[in-house]
Each structure stands twice: as structure tokens, then as C-alpha cells.
């Protein structure tokens, strides 16, 4: 056996020269030393830097002050022999001898995790039986609750998806989101990449990111993306209501890097962008469920005032059980077909007269059915009568008492009762769940699904439905309730 290299004993703290980016020492009772043997110098350097960023004290040289020795692919006997050579003549070393798995789990948790038998070298089990997960290919076949056991993995993939979308690479964005969707639906945390063998939608790139996080506690690619100046600027500019990626890209090419620069530039902004810039801070804060309920009470009063008997439903993420969201969406209809025509202008007029609207833009219903099936829309947007608005939620209404009022994004959608079930399904989300429903309809059933209708391309006829359950039945799918559509 090749002898382990003897390290010079130095006082605790000598190894951290301050040349690397570190965070304040959050855990003074824990002093780490990573054994280089079999781990390798470059990997040891990366893990040491990661530990310091997370607030751990990591020493370069061994000393008697070390409390945790982190090893990789070393036996307990090898490490004990090395330790005794370091403290010869000065008593026995008392540090915990731990496998690198304890370190990576602590990095993921952001704190020192409990030391279990499986972490200790003396009792390390080399072959651990792990559960291999399975999942259907389409998100619309899976039940995905808000109880996400793999948030650190799905957050990382979602960030890469967002970056791809901001770069105009929608295909890569969808691939990352599908991979994240699979992991969100797993019944327990992933502990090894081998558990994911055979799962759908997990391509090589996504698996590399997952492996990096499981082994190192973080992904280099994700961390680099977070620090990317272009990504940060695009996030700020597209965070303005009414600003898309193409507009943000053009502004960046013109030298705009932030909100103040945009304001000082004298550029002409449309009404939506002006309102978005004016209320930027409010619109980029999460809307709470209590705030959504407060808006619902106002909209319900408006609808009842202008069309008694009309029905209003809270849709979007809040219908799926989320406690916060980016905006609040409502679907409005009337039990009598045709009674909903002309409703939106009256609701908007009522809200404006009561001082609730800071901005609004209304579009008319442009949906038409054809004998040969629905015409392909010019975009992925549906064609209902709709009002995009910024709502003034007053303290008297929201009850938060933080300031007199705040701006909240609110979308109002009016649907004929004959299309209500399709609109309800389409506007409940999640976005990936809806995308996969439509993909399933086209690829598996030769049907065309939208928020307006379901058309059977083989039979050349529309399939009517008065409930979401009927739509799932038409598609040959098991019904999944809104609370389990959080893909």
C-alpha cells in the first residue's frame, strides 16, 4: 500500500488564506478537513471552496482542532492510521471520520446534518440498495402535488430552463422543465443518479446537473448562470410588465442595464410598459392567498352588479392550492349561452368607477369553430374576451396594514358556458401540465385540444364536455384534480 503523505501540524485556521470567496463562519463548533488522498487535488479544492461559501470552516492543513475529517473512497483503517501518524506522541485524534456523503448532504441542507451510521467510515456500507424510481412519460399522466421532495434539483433545472428561454432557446427550456417535472412527482428524495435510470425526459444534460448537485451539493453550471450578468439584466428587464425577451434584448444592445438607466434614457414606452415600470416593485412581489381572496371579493361584487347570475372562478396556481403567485386569474361565465356577451366592458367600467384599476387592456373574443376543425391560432394564446389589468388593492380591502395600497396583476377571462370546462382546464395549469395534455392529445389520440374545444381529427368532429372529468375521459386519461397538476 502506498503510504499516506504526512501533513505538518499547524494551528487551526492557518489553511484559509482569504484568497477564496467565503461566507462568515456560521458553525464555529464544526471544523472540517478534506483528505486529498483518492479525492484528488482539484475536487478537494472545489469542495473546500463550496464549504466556505456555505459558511463552514474548512482547513487546508490538519490540526488537533479538526472536528470532522471528510474522506472519499478511503477505508476507516487507512484514515485512522494516517491520523495517528499526525498526532503521534500527543494522544489520540478525536475527529469524526466521515464519508463525503455527509459533506454533500450538509451542503444541500446549508448546515451540518446529523451524523448517521452510514456516514461513518468504520461502518460504511459500500453497496447500498437504493430505490429505482419509475414514472409515466407525460406529465398529464402523473400526480404532482405541491409537496416537492427534490426542490434543490428542480429549482436548479428550472433556473436553467428560464435561462434557455431568455436566450431564445425554447426547445432546451422545455427539456429542462420536463426533467424538473419528472423529479417533482417522485415520492421521496433522490439520493443517487442510479435511481433515475430509465426515467423519461431526463436527458444527459439534466442528469449531469443532478449528479453534480448530489455529489457536490451544488452545480457549477447553475451557480455560473446565477452570476451571469446577462441573465441578471434580462431577469430585471423582463420583470417589467409588458416587456418580452426581444424588447429586453434590444434594450441591452442599446446599453440599458437596469431600471434607472431605462427611466433616464427617454425611450418611448407603451402604456403597459409605463405601468409596469411605475409599479415594478409591487408587481415583482408574490401575491398571497389572502390578497387573492380580497381581489376575488371585489371582482365578484363587480360581476354580480352588472350581470346577476354570472359565475366567477379563481383559476391559475391558486386553484391548484398554491399559497402565493405572480398574479390572480379569474374565469367568468353565465349558465345561459350568450348572456356573457358584452359582460367584460361592464365589469371593467364598474372597477374603474370604484378606483380599482391602475391599468387595463381588453381584447375581444375572436374564437370561431370551423367544419374542418378549429383554425390554428396565430399564437399559443387562447382567443377569449379578456382583460389584462393592474389592480389597486387598498389597505381597507387587503387588511395587511403595510401601506395604503399595492399593485397586483389581475387577469379576467370571459368564456361561453359551452367552452367553460375547456377554459377552466386550460387556465388552471400548470403550464407544463397543459403543454403535456395537448401533446398527449395530438400524439396519442389524434386530437386537437385548446382552452376552447377538443376536436377529434380522425372522426372529424368536436367532442363536447361540460366538466373537466369528461375531457380527461375523452382523452383516455385518469382524472387528475387541480391540486395534483403542479408539474
For residues 54 and 213, what is the distance between their CA atoms, to the nearest angstrom? 14
Residue 77 a catalytic site member: no
Distance of alpha carbon 434 from alpha carbon 185, whole angstroms = 16
Catalytic residue among 327, 372, 382, 456: 327
Three-state DSSP at 70 gives strand
Q: Judge contact between 315 and 330, C-beta under 8 A.
A: yes
> Cell 459533506 belongs to which residue?
103
Q: Is 327 a catalytic residue?
A: yes
Residues 6 or more apart whose CB falls under 8 angstroms from that of 48 comprise 20, 34, 58, 60
Whether omega for the bond prior to residue 430 falls within 30 degrees of 0, making it cis, is yes
Confirm whether 329 is a catalytic residue: yes
Dihedral (CA of 98, 102, 104, 110) sign: negative
Q: Which of 264, 329, 372, 382 is flagged as catalytic?
A: 329
Phi, psi at 388, each rounded to 5°: -90, 125
Which is the catalytic residue, given 155, 293, 411, 456? 411
CB neighbours of 274 closer than 8 A, spacing ≥ 6?
A: none
Residues classed as catalytic: 327, 329, 411
Amino acid at each position: 500500500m502506498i503510504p499516506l503523505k504526512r501533513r505538518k501540524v499547524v494551528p487551526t485556521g492557518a489553511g484559509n488564506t482569504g484568497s477564496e470567496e467565503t461566507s462568515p463562519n456560521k458553525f464555529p463548533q464544526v471544523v472540517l478537513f478534506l483528505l486529498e488522498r483518492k479525492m484528488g487535488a482539484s475536487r478537494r479544492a472545489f469542495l473546500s471552496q463550496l464549504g466556505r461559501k456555505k459558511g463552514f470552516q474548512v482547513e487546508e492543513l490538519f490540526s488537533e482542532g479538526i472536528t470532522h475529517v471528510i474522506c472519499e473512497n478511503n477505508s476507516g483503517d487507512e484514515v485512522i492510521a494516517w491520523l495517528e501518524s499526525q498526532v503521534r506522541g500527543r494522544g489520540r485524534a478525536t475527529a469524526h471520520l466521515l464519508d463525503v456523503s455527509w459533506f454533500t448532504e450538509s451542503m444541500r441542507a446549508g448546515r451540518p446534518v446529523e451524523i448517521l451510521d452510514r456516514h461513518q467510515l468504520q461502518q460504511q456500507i459500500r453497496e447500498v440498495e437504493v430505490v429505482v424510481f419509475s414514472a409515466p412519460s407525460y406529465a398529464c399522466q402523473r400526480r404532482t402535488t405541491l409537496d416537492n421532495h427534490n426542490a434543490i434539483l428542480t429549482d436548479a433545472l428550472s433556473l436553467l430552463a428560464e435561462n434557455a428561454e431568455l436566450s431564445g432557446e425554447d426547445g432546451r427550456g422545455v427539456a429542462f422543465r420536463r426533467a424538473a417535472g419528472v423529479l417533482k412527482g417522485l415520492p421521496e428524495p433522490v439520493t443517487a443518479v442510479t435511481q433515475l435510470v430509465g426515467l423519461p425526459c431526463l436527458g444527459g444534460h439534466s442528469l449531469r446537473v443532478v449528479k453534480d448537485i448530489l455529489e457536490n451539493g451544488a452545480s457549477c453550471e447553475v451557480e455560473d448562470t446565477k452570476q451571469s450578468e446577462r441573465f441578471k439584466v434580462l431577469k430585471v428587464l423582463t420583470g417589467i410588465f409588458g416587456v418580452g425577451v426581444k424588447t429586453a434584448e434590444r434594450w441591452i444592445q442599446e446599453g440599458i442595464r437596469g431600471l434607472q438607466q431605462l427611466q433616464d434614457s427617454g425611450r418611448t414606452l407603451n402604456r403597459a410598459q409605463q405601468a409596469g415600470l411605475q409599479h415594478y416593485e409591487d408587481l415583482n412581489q408574490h401575491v398571497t392567498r389572502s390578497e387573492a381572496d380580497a381581489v376575488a371579493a371585489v371582482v365578484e361584487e363587480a360581476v354580480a352588479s352588472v350581470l346577476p347570475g354570472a359565475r366567477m372562478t379563481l383559476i391559475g396556481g391558486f386553484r391548484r392550492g398554491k399559497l402565493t403567485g405572480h398574479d390572480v386569474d379569474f374565469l367568468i361565465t353565465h349558465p345561459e349561452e350568450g348572456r356573457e356577451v358584452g359582460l367584460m366592458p361592464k365589469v371593467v367600467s364598474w372597477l374603474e368607477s370604484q378606483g380599482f384599476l391602475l391599468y387595463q387592456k381588453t381584447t375581444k373574443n375572436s374564437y370561431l369553430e370551423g367544419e374542418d376543425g378549429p383554425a390554428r391560432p396565430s399564437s399559443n394564446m387562447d382567443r377569449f374576451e379578456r382583460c389584462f389589468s393592474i389592480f389597486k388593492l387598498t389597505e381597507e380591502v387587503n387588511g395587511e396594514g403595510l401601506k395604503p395600497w399595492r399593485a397586483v396583476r389581475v387577469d379576467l377571462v370571459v368564456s361561453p358556458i359551452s367552452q367553460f370546462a375547456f377554459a377552466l382546464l386550460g387556465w388552471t395549469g400548470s403550464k407544463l401540465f397543459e403543454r403535456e395534455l395537448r401533446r398527449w392529445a395530438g400524439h396519442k389520440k389524434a386530437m386537437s385540444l385548446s382552452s376552447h374545444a377538443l376536436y377529434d381529427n380522425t372522426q372529424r368532429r368536436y367532442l363536447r364536455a361540460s366538466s373537466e372529468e369528461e375531457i380527461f375521459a375523452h382523452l383516455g386519461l385518469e382524472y387528475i384534480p387541480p391540486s395534483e397538476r403542479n408539474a
